[in-house]
Amino acid sequence: MNAVWTILRVTFLQQVRNKLWLAALLYAGIMAAASLLFGAVAADAELTVILDLGLAAAELLGLLVAAVGAATLVLEEMESKTAYLILTRPVPRASYVVGRFLGLLGAVLGAVALMGLVHVGILMLKGWEPSASYFACYPFMALKVTVVASMALFFSLFATSQASSVSFTAFFWLLGHFGPELEFLAVKSRSVASAVGVKAFLFVLPRLDLLTYRDLLEIPGVAAGPLLARGAAYAALYTGACLLLSATLFSRREF
Amino acid sequence: MENVTKVFRRSHLGRVRETVGVRDLSLRVFEGEVYGLLGLNGAGKTTVMKLLLGLLSPSSGRAEILGRSPEDPEARRAVGYLPEVPYFYRHLTAREVLVFYGRLSGLPRESLGARVEAVLKEVRLAENAHRPMREYSKGMLQRACLAQALIHDPKILFFDEPVTGLDPLGLKEMRDMMAGLHERGKTILFSSHNISEVERLCRRVGILVRGRMAREVDRSEWEKDPGRLEAIFVETVAQDPNSGLRPVMS
Amino acid sequence: MPSAGGPPVPAYAVQDMAAVLSGARRVGSDVAFIQLLQYFGGGDANEAGGKGNAGPRSTWLPRFLPMSRRVAALNPGFHAAVLFAAGSLGFVLDRPDEALSLLEEGTAADPTFWQYRLYAGAVAYRKNQEPDKVIVFLWEALKYPDCPGLLQNILANLLKKRGDFRRAAEVYRHTIQTCRDPTSVDTARRQLDRLRKAGLAP
């Protein structure tokens, strides 16, 4: 645990010093421009549009930073050989992987929180009244970022390049929102083999539709609490599996 | 190391290429000894180091540190590594780097601070310890690298080309530090291209040729005859038909 | 959620699919609503039923209903959009049956948003040409935050036609204070100004 914490701390600081906060700055710029634009074109729905766009932009930026960060997290250290001075010490390789991952995650979630503050500020300037369901979106966002980052880390350890690792992640991210539709296909499929194949694929695919609460805002009968509990359990399992696989792959790596 | 062979397999466009890093190599370094590894580029010096550090696993044979596998945490606690090129987090200061590696090496929090300051003083970096690594010169980086290798007071030190790229003053400093460590009873395995440094410091030298231990030379063979180690080295390497060396005289 | 027998507006199918695939349904719905507003404001030059053309209003903007359905399909909770669309269909484009159909679908998707029934009542009375009853329903709807600026101005116009300038001015003031649509606020300001200059309102 000591090794995990030590590596986490240095990774967190490294990410912050790598100007991760620029993502939050970019976000602030986008939202300021959007609030001006949509004030003019969105009529009565100005607040709705700014709210939706802000949540989506924060999530997208967070995911982008997490995915690219995770894809380079271990690879970069292997290529620059910074990892040598750690791996020649009594540090289990799994601790190294977990520490690096948690450090990155901490930094990214901090950036997302910063974006959230900017968003709330802009909304309140526009006369928005805070609602619990809005704030409930952020834990779901955090879970999604965690799942996607863990997936990106895993891909980085067997993909041939950082670019292919990010591409795989983007592909799985897209498909991850299609869970219910793929389930429907599996049910409707007449071929047992393809039904089994689709179900197996669904098992591997991250079920990001379970973690997209912001699309369920204001839909009647949708309560955040139970969804969050289910989402958190799923995210913990999926992330745990990705980290376990990553640690296993990394432990077999030679330098 | 006992009869260690390491084969590297790389696949490219569906074809697997095998390269032998070291072949049937046996090597013993005794406690308190300074042992040098000499060889041309690609002879396997760094591969030997990495096998003993646990960064590589042998394809066959056995490597041990103090009777344990190199991957054993106890073995790792006993080892300090100075790589050829220092690989640091550039945004950290020397002090932060030593605290970081000290913690990873298992040093207790209470004594870590004092130990860091002592090592910084030993490698003469105390005055620059507040500066980030990206501002360091080559010589300062090498000293910082030595500091991280020493922070946990290991019994065994691996130095991979420690004097490469150093100016004459830096070279002397490194040599003096290594001599000082030897006097303190540290066991040192060091690889180098610089035969004169190896001559000065080592008790024994292993000459690697294309992954094999071609010859081991004891200090007594060159001590009284300056330049003798170089001659032995050239002779050993020239015996390899692929060395590209042809005897000018025989 | 309305089931998809196919995309409501095939021309936007790829855009809507991209929104769904990237987990941004609500943003997709917002963009669809802005496209609906732009269509309402300017029409489509390639379309026969362009707004402001010589034919009756009921022939203008033939794709207005499918485009409205598209917004609701992406986000069934987008009440303001459905109310705006129904109000436009019922009171501006003279297509009360389409307005009622849209409100019915909205109610099916979200039975808890009872204001849909209020607006359905207003549209039904509009269809039967009973403006007094329309006023009653729209006056009630005014109390709730999702009342579109467009309908507030329509209510004020109906009140003016009845000679009830005091209440019309009240509606304009309410629009200026609470509405987020700059066009509606502008209209309300101008109309209130006129009433004041004519001495018909304080």
Q: Each residue of C59-104: pLDDT tens digit?
A: 889 999 999 999 999 998 899 999 999 999 999 999 999 999 999 9
Residue C52: pLDDT band (50, 70, 90) is low
Interchain CB contact of A183 with C (< 8 Å): no
pTM tops 0.90, yes or no: no
User: In this structure, what token pair is assigned to residue A204?
Assistant: 């591997």
Distance from CA of A17 to the nearest CA of B (A): 8
Task: Say what the pLDDT of residue C1 is.
Answer: 38
Tell me the C-alpha to C-alpha distance, in Å, between residue C135 and each of A191, B170, C122, C190: 59, 93, 8, 21
Which of A14, A84, A91 lies nearest to residue B83, judging by beta carbons? A84
Do the Cβ atoms of C72 and C81 come closer than 8 Å?
Answer: yes
Distance from CA of B157 to the nearest CA of A (A): 12
Tokens of residue A187, six digits: 């049910």
pLDDT for the residue C28: 93
Which residue, among B50, B45, B64, has the nearest Cα to B2 in the 3D structure? B64
Tell if the CB–CB gap between C27 and A44 is shorter than 8 Å: no
* Rounded distance between C-alpha atoms, residue B192 and residue B171, angstroms: 13
- Please say whether the beta carbons of B161 and B84 come within 8 A: yes
Query: For position A219, what pLDDT does the model report?
Result: 75
Q: How far is CA C88 from CA A39, A254, B157, C177, in A?
A: 20, 68, 82, 22
Residue B25, burial from CB neighbour count under 10 angstroms (0-12, 13-18, 19+): buried
**Are chains B and C in touch, 3+ Cβ pairs below 8 Å?**
no
Average pLDDT over residues C14-30: 89
- Provide the pLDDT confidence category of residue C49 given band limits of 50, 70 and 90: low
Using the CB atoms, write b or e for A47-75: b if 16+ within 10 Å.
Answer: bbbbbbbbbbbbbebbbbbbbbbbbbbbb
Q: What share of chain A is helix, strand, coil (3-state, %, to 5)?
A: 85, 0, 15
Q: Which residue has the tokens 């009565």?
A: A44
**C26·A217 Cβ contact <8 A:** yes
Burial zone of B247 (CB within 10 Å; 0-12 exposed, 13-18 middle, 19+ buried): exposed
CA angle, corner A132, sides to C180 and A52, nearest 5?
45
- Sequence-distant (6+) residues with CB within 8 A of B135 are none
d(CA A55, nearest CA chain C) in Å: 9
The answer to whether the CB of C146 falls within 8 A of the CB of C80 is: yes
B77 in contact with chain A, both atoms CB, cutoff 8 A: yes
Element (H, E) at C54: none
Distance from CA of B149 to the nearest CA of A (A): 9
Q: Give the gap in angstroms from C-alpha A220 to the nearest C-alpha of chain C.
A: 6
User: Which chain B residue has its CA at the smallest distance from A16's CA?
Assistant: B91
Class of domain B2-78+155-238: alpha beta
| Residue B68: C-alpha distances to residues A208, B65, B73, B76, B82 (Å) | 46, 5, 9, 10, 21
Nearest to C180 among A44, A52, A212 (CB): A44
Is residue C102 within 8 A of residue C69, CB to CB? The reply is: yes
CB contact (8 A) between residue A43 and residue C111: no
User: Quick check: A81 and B103 CB within 8 A?
Assistant: no
- Residue A1 at interface with chain C, using a CB cutoff of 8 Å: no
Task: Tell if the CB–CB gap between A85 and B89 is shorter than 8 Å.
Answer: no
Question: What mean pLDDT, rounded, does chain A reach?
Answer: 88
The two three-digit tokens of residue B143, written as one number: 């000293």
Q: Where are the alpha helices (DSSP H) in chain C?
A: 13-21, 25-42, 64-74, 79-87, 96-109, 115-127, 131-141, 149-162, 165-178, 182-197
d(CA A109, CA A102): 10
Which residue on chain A is closest to B90 by alpha carbon?
A: A14
Q: Closest partner residue to B79 among A14, A83, A88, by Cβ?
A: A88
Residues of B in contact with A17 (CB under 8 A): 91
Q: Which domains does chain C have, with CATH numbers?
A: 10-147 (1.25.40), 148-202 (no CATH)
What residues of A are in the B interface, CB distance below 8 Å? 2-3, 6-7, 10, 13-14, 17, 80-92, 254-255
Interface test with chain B among A88, A100, A250, A255, by most B beta carbons within 10 Å? A88
Nearest Cβ partner for A254 among B56, B79, B81: B56
pLDDT score, position B119: 95
pLDDT digit of tens for each residue in chain B (250 aa)?
Answer: 999 999 988 777 777 888 888 999 999 999 999 999 999 888 889 999 999 999 999 999 999 999 999 989 999 999 999 988 888 888 889 999 999 999 999 999 899 999 999 999 999 899 999 999 889 988 888 889 999 999 999 999 999 888 877 788 888 888 888 889 999 999 999 998 888 888 888 999 999 998 899 899 998 888 888 788 888 888 888 876 655 555 454 4
pLDDT below 50 — which residues of chain A? none
Residues C50-60, mean pLDDT to the nearest whole number? 73
Across the interface, do A56 and C184 touch by the CB < 8 Å criterion? no
Domain extents in chain B: 2-78+155-238, 88-153
* One-character DSSP codes across chain B: -EEEEEEEEEEETTEEEEEEEEEEE-----TT-EEEEEE-TTSSHHHHHHHHHTSS--SEEE--BTTB-TTSHHHHHTEEEE-SS----TTSBHHHHHHHHHHHTT--HHHHHHHHHHHHHHTT-GGGTTSBGGG--HHHHHHHHHHHHHTT--SEEEEESTTTT--HHHHHHHHHHHHHHHHTT-EEEEEES-HHHHHHH-SEEEEEETTEEEEEEEGGGTTTSTTHHHHHHHHHHHTSTTS----S--
Cα of B71 to nearest chain A Cα, Å: 8
Contact B1, B61 (CB under 8 A): yes
B148 closest CB neighbour out of A17, A85, A87: A85
Chain C residues with CB-CB distance to A under 8 A? 20-27, 29-30, 33-34, 37-38, 75-81, 84, 110-113, 146, 148-149, 179-184
Mutation for testing the B interface, residue in A85, A95, A98, A160 having most B CBs under 10 Å: A85
pLDDT reading at C118 higher than 80: yes
CB contact under 8 A, B55 and A84: yes
Whole-complex ipTM: 0.85
What tokens appear for A197 in the block? 């194949």
Considering only CB atoms, C112 lies closest to which of A47, A48, A220, namely A220
**Which residues of chain B from 175 to 234 reach within 8 Å of chain A, CB to CB?**
none
Identity of residue B35 = Y
- Taking 80 as the threshold, does the pLDDT of residue C44 lie above it? no
